[in-house]
Amino acid sequence: MLIHKTLWVVLLLIWMGGSTYWHVCRIKQLCSDSAASVPGGAPGSAPVSSLSVPGLQFADGTTAAFNSPGHLAFAKSGAQVNPAGVQSLLDTLAIYLKSNPGKRLQLTGFYDSTEQNPSTEANLGLARANSVRAYLSTLELPDTLFTLEGAMRSDLSFTPAGDSLYGGVQFAFLDEVLVKGKKPVAEEELAKAEKFASIFEPMALYFNTGKTAYIKTAETDEFLQKTKAYLKEHPDQKLVVTGHSDNVGSDALNLLLSKKRAAAVKMQFVNEGIAANQVVVEGKGETQPIASNESEAGRRTNRRAAIVVKK
C-alpha cells in the first residue's frame, strides 16, 4: 500500500514539473535558451517558430562596456519591468554609476503600435522607461541620473505566444557636454524661449520628462509675481491654467494627462501664495497643438500648460 501511494506521489511530482517546464519554457519562452523552438515540429526538423532573445549591450564610450545575453522583459501592453534576465548587469551598472559621479543615462522605452497603454504616461514606451528607472532607484541610484524618452518601434522581440516582450528599453550614456548643462535639453530650451509680455497674454510652461513641476525661468517668475499681486487686488478675477498634450495615445488618456498637468501647475501656484479659488484648471488634451505631432520635437512642444489671467 505504501509503495502504491509513493508511486502516485512521484508521478504527480513529475507531472507538475513537466507542466511548469512546458508553460515557462515552451509557451512563455522564459528559459535561458536564447533561441527556443515552439512545439509542433518533428524531431530533427526545423522549428515551426523561434525567438532569439536580444542581448542588452551599451557602453560609456571606451571607458566601460555593459553586456548581457539576457534582456529586460515586459508583458505585452505592460509597463512593469521584469529585470531577472539582466540582474547582474544592473548591479554592475549601479556600482559603476556610484563610482563615477556626474555620469547620466538616457532610458528610451519602446512600444509596438498594437499595444495598449494602461499607464498615465504619454505613451507605453515612456512608462516602460520610468519602470526601469524606478527599479534602478531600489539600487540606491537617484532619479536625477536618468532622462526618459518613449518611442514606437515595429521590430520588437515578442515571444511566439505574443504575450511577452524581450528588450523594450534602450540604455545610453549622455554626452558629457549635455551632463554639464552646456547643451540644454529640448524642454529647457522651450521654457527659456517663452517671454513674459503681460499676465493677460498666454504663456506656455514646460516640464522635464517624467516631472510634474514646470521649468522655472526669470520670465515665469515675473508672470507669477505680477499675477499674484493683481489677483490680490482683484479677488473676482481668475488665473486660467490649461493643460495640453501631444497626440500619442488615446483621446481620453491625453485629456486626462492634460488635466493632471494643469492641476500640478495650480498646486505650485497655490503654494506660491495665489488663492486656490482664483485658479481655474482646464484640460484640452491633444486638440490644440502649436506644432506638428509628426516629429518628437513637435510633440515635445505640444506637451505644455498655458497660463493667462482672464478678466
Residue 225's pLDDT band (boundaries 50, 70, 90)?
A: very high
Is the pLDDT score of 98 beyond 50? yes
Give me the percent of the chain exceeding a pLDDT of 70: 79
- Encode pLDDT of 109-122 as tens digits: 999 989 999 888 88
Number of domains in the chain: 2
Burial 281-298 (b: 16+ CB within 10 A, else e): bebbbbeebeeeeeeeee
Where is mean pLDDT largest: 84-98, 164-178, 181-195, 208-222?
A: 84-98
Same domain, 155 and 250: no
pLDDT over threshold 60, residue 238 = yes
- Residue 159: is its pLDDT beyond 90? no
Residue closest to 307 by CA, chosen among 253, 246, 252, 264: 264
Residue 72's nearest CA partner among 58, 92, 54 is: 54
- Mapping DSSP to helix (H, G, I), strand (E, B) and coil, where does residue 13 land? helix
- Tell me, yes or no, whether 236 and 269 share the same domain: yes
What per-residue confidence (pLDDT) applies to 9?
52
Residue 175 maps to a domain: yes
Assigned domain for 30 exists? no
> What integer pLDDT is reported at residue 35 of this predicted model?
37
Q: Helix (H, G, I), strand (E, B), or coil: what is residue 157? A: strand
Q: Which of 179, 196, 228 is the C-terminal boundary of a domain?
A: 179
Domain membership of residue 149 as a residue range: 51-179
Whether 113 and 158 share a structural domain: yes
pLDDT score of 136 more than 60: yes
Please state, rounded to an integer, the average pLDDT across all residues of the chain: 81
pLDDT of residue 103: 85
Enumerate residues 6+ apart whose C-beta is below 8 A from 51. 29, 35, 36, 157, 158, 159, 160, 166
pLDDT of residue 199 exceeding 60, the answer is yes
* 207 and 275 assigned to the same domain: yes
Q: Can you state the angle between helices 87-99 and 124-137, rounded to 10 degrees?
A: 70
163 and 281 housed in the same domain: no
Note the pLDDT of residue 206: 93
User: Which residues, including other chains, have CB under 8 Å from residue 192's CB and lie 6 or more apart?
Assistant: 184, 217
Q: pLDDT higher for 103 or 239?
A: 239
Clarify whether residues 254 and 141 are in a common domain: no
Q: What digits encode the pLDDT tens for the residues 288-304? A: 998 887 777 788 888 99
pLDDT of residue 184: 45
Calculate ∠ Cα 132-136-138, nearest 5°. 125
Average pLDDT over residues 207-235: 90
Instruction: Give the pLDDT band (50/70/90) at residue 14.
Output: low
Same domain, 56 and 175: yes
**124 and 205 belong to one structural domain:** no
Q: Say yes or no: 211 and 277 in one domain.
A: yes
What does the alpha-carbon distance between residue 16 and residue 20 come to, in Å, rounded to a whole number?
Answer: 6
Domain-embedded: residue 7: no
